[in-house]
Amino acid sequence: MPQLVGKEVGSTGYGLMGFTWRAILPPREQAFEAMRTAIKNGANFWNGGVFYGPREYNSLVLLEQYFEKYPEDTDKVVISIKGGMNINGAGPDGSPEGTRRAVDECLAQLKGRKFLDIFEFARRDPNVPMEVTLRVLEDEYVKTGKLGGISLSEVKAETIHEAVKHTKIVAVEVELSLFATDVLENGVAAACAQYDIPLIAYSPIGRVEELAEKKGCTPAQLAINWTKALSRRPGMPTIIPIPGATTVACVEENMKEFDITDEEMAEIDTTLAKFTPAGNRYPDWVPVNT
The catalytic residues are 52
| Pairing assessment for the beta strands 7-8 and 3-4 based on DSSP bridges | antiparallel
Tell me if residue 31 falls in helix, strand or coil.
Answer: helix
Return d(Cα 124, Cα 7) in angstroms, integer.
26
Return d(Cα 102, Cα 83) in angstroms, integer.
6
Contact (CB, 8 A) for 62 and 22: no
Residues 6+ apart with CB under 8 A from 178: 206, 207, 208, 211, 223, 226, 268, 272
Return d(Cα 94, Cα 117) in angstroms, integer.
19
Return d(Cα 216, Cα 188) in angstroms, integer.
32
Contact (CB, 8 A) for 76 and 35: no
Return d(Cα 15, Cα 19) in angstroms, integer.
9
Per-residue burial over 88-105, b if 16 or more Cβ lie within 10 Å, else e, is eeebbbbbeebbeebbeb
